[in-house]
Each structure stands twice: as C-alpha cells, then as structure tokens.
Amino acid sequence: MLSVFFEVLRRDLLLAWRNRADVMVTLAFFTIVACLFPFGVGAEPNLLRTIAPGVLWVAALLATLLSLHRLFAQDHTDGVLEQLLLSPEPAVLWVLAKVLAHWLTTAVPLIAAAPLLALLFDMEQSATGVLILSLALGTPILSLLGAVGAALTLGLRGGGMLLALLVLPLFVPILIFGAGAVDAHLSGTGAAAHLLLLGGGSLAALALAPWACAAALRIAVE
C-alpha cells in the first residue's frame, strides 16, 4: 500500500525537477516581494526589524498560493487523476504524497531562503531561528489547506481567483501565529505557545485535509 505513496511522491518530484522553472518562479516571487518592502518603507533599521516577520510570512503565503495550481491541474489534463481515483488504493495515500511533493518543492526552498532575506531586515540571529521554525511548522498547513482549495476549484473557469478567495481567509490564522511567534520571541514573552499552535494545526490539517481533498477530487472528476 505504501508503494503507491512513494511512487506518486517520486513521480511528482521528478516532474517538479523537469519543470523546475515553476519552482524558481515561486522562489523568485518570494524574494522579490520581500525585497520590495525596504524600498517602500525606508531603510530605518528598527522599522525593518519590526516588520520583518510579517513581511516574510506574507511573502511565503503568497508564494505558496501562487504555486497551488500545480497540485492537480496537470494530472487532471492528462487523465492521470482519473486513473488514480479508479485505482483500488486509498486516495488519501496518493493525495498525501502529492501534498508532500508540493511542500518539498515549494516550502522547503522558501524556508532555505528565509535566513538570507532576514539579513536584509537586520533580524537577530535568534529571531531568525524562530522564523525558520515557524515556517517549518506553518507551511505544511498552507499546503494541506491549499490542496483542498485546489481540488474544489479544479477545472473551473476562473479557478485561480476562486482558489485565492477560498483559501486566503483560512491562511490568516497561520500568518498571525507564524509572525506572532517571532514578535513574541523579540518581546521576551516566548514563542512556545505560537509554535505549539502551529504544530497542532499541522497535525489537525494532516489528519483532516487529505480526506476532504480526496472527496473534492472525486466531485471535480465526476
């Protein structure tokens, strides 16, 4: 049974490597959005340090949103999605594999680039560590919830706009807790509560989102 999970994961990672320009576009978008803020608000160090967590989290959120269309669109066009749904294997397994592949090819590069962009905002080293940890705990929720939205809007005209309208309100709590973790650390109150909430949200999304996504895909294909 797990062989399906690993085969779909390997296939999606291979496709992402062959279409790595899409991955680079997402990373470039994240970098450009983060770099534009200092030009807009000025180069005052204290101000940059204050807005850095929110700016980097918003940039990561928007970059993730930009990449969500890649989750199921190509498989839907090629007919692969129908074959997967008709297979006797549980749909939740290969849905999880596709979400994991999306997270590895989208969120992991953003997390890797975050420390370099944090230098642009003159963030403290300890705050940068909290930022990376909050992104590592929060971005899986973005991918899982985004997968449900991508499945619900699959094949619809104007699906990209509808997808944004569906998932952006759901992304707001993750943004608040992610940026709030760094702010709490800087204020001396500790980031543990925010990070625990992000970790709990990731576990809850992992338990529920794949089932909702599989059901939405069946509806979209029918």
Report the distance separating Cα 148 and Cα 163, nearest Å.
Answer: 9
Q: For residues 124 and 210, give the distance between their C-alpha atoms in angstroms, rounded to a whole number.
A: 37
Q: Residue 191's pLDDT is what? A: 87
Residue 58 in 3-state DSSP?
helix
Average pLDDT of the residues in 130-155: 92
For residue range 80-133, list pLDDT tens digits in order: 888 888 888 888 999 999 999 999 999 999 999 999 999 888 888 888 999 999
The predicted structure's pLDDT at residue 45: 80
- For residue 19, CA distances in Å to 30, 86, 94, 140, 214 come to 18, 27, 20, 22, 25
Which candidate, 107, 96, 104, 102, places its Cα nearest to that of 74?
A: 102
Q: How confident is the model at residue 187 (pLDDT cuts 50, 70, 90)?
A: confident
pLDDT of residue 1: 66
Q: Is 81 exposed, middle or buried (0-12, 13-18, 19+ CB in 10 A)?
A: buried
